[in-house]
Amino acid sequence: MRKITYKEALREALREEMRRDPTVFLLGEDIGRYWGGAFKVTKGLVEEFGDERVRDTPISESAIIGAAVGAAITGTRPVAEIMFGDLTALAMDQIANQAAKIHYMFGGQVKVPLVIRTPFGAGVNIAAHHSQSLEAWFMHVPGLYVAVPSTPYDAKGLLKTAIRGSNPVFFCEHKLLYPMEGAVPEDEYTVPFGVADVKRKGSDVTIVATLYMVHEALSVAKGLEAEGISVEVVDPRTLAPLDKHTIISSVKKTGRLVVVSEDCKTAGVSAEIAATVAEEAIDYLDAPIKRVAEPDTPIPFSPPLEQYVIPNEKSIIKAVREIA
């Protein structure tokens, strides 16, 4: 099977869905003719689809999402790009109070087929305003779907599912994943929401990880195999809906759980997954649940300090060894 980058997989999904459905259009800052997006995901699409369907917007996140919500409820399928995930804070009313609630507030008479794409994550030395991982914010909002693809295959398949759906989807991408290559079939496919993927089977410890941390977990699993520790790596792929069944089934098999996510530890993604297992599978645990996440601090600009706060192989191995 051919290999393409995460960025190319996203671009393919956008191109294919825009060809399939003329109501799909893109909007965001610098996504069009002169730039192709901050991370070049939309590069080249304006030449094929024109300025009406690949729309450059003013530098106003509230305007981008507000316009996208209005377009969605009146019959189109907008895919809005927010240049950095941190900047969704400038559009929280439009996301959390409008897009997520309109279907409910109007008794199901109105649908909001909207996708919001945005990059999260640290590791590229761009400081506290452009390096956060805020997935848990949106996981907390009823009415929003939250996707967290970790591979090119999942990125393409989940994005196509998001665009075709009838619900608002918050689509999280990680900056360090954009250049990563992976196998992606040329044939048509989609990836369903709410179905986790066991990226590696194991018998001693379950690691549930998201986005870039999936690859850190896989590297840890490979290394610990030489020590006789068999690690199973589960990638939720979506946080809302969350595939509790696959996670709990894995924990029932291994008896141990480490949850790895790049957001802050307090009230984060790892906290929700840990609480779910504690509520529904505590009798199967042979050791305490371990969480590996960022400390509750802004992301430093200093490269050494930035690397210090980001979860890594060393911190994941420490957690596994403490319970294995």
Q: Is 215 a catalytic residue?
A: no
**Helix pair angle (269-281, 244-254), 10° resolution:** 60
Alpha-helix residue ranges (DSSP H) falling in 128-212 = 135-139, 152-164
Task: List the catalytic residue out of 103, 129, 130, 215.
Answer: 130
How far apart (Å, rounded) are the C-alpha atoms in residues 148 and 136? Answer: 11
Element of type H or E holding 75: none
Residue type, position 187, single letter: D
Alpha-helix residue ranges (DSSP H) falling in the chain = 6-20, 45-49, 61-73, 92, 102-105, 135-139, 152-164, 213-225, 244-254, 269-281, 303-309, 313-323
Backbone angles phi, psi at 134, to 5 degrees: -115, 25
CA atoms within 13 A on the CB side of 134: 20
Residue located via tokens 């996981």? 139
Residue 171's nearest CA partner among 187, 188, 197, 150 is 150
Alpha-helix residue ranges (DSSP H) falling in 198-268 = 213-225, 244-254
Active site residues: 130
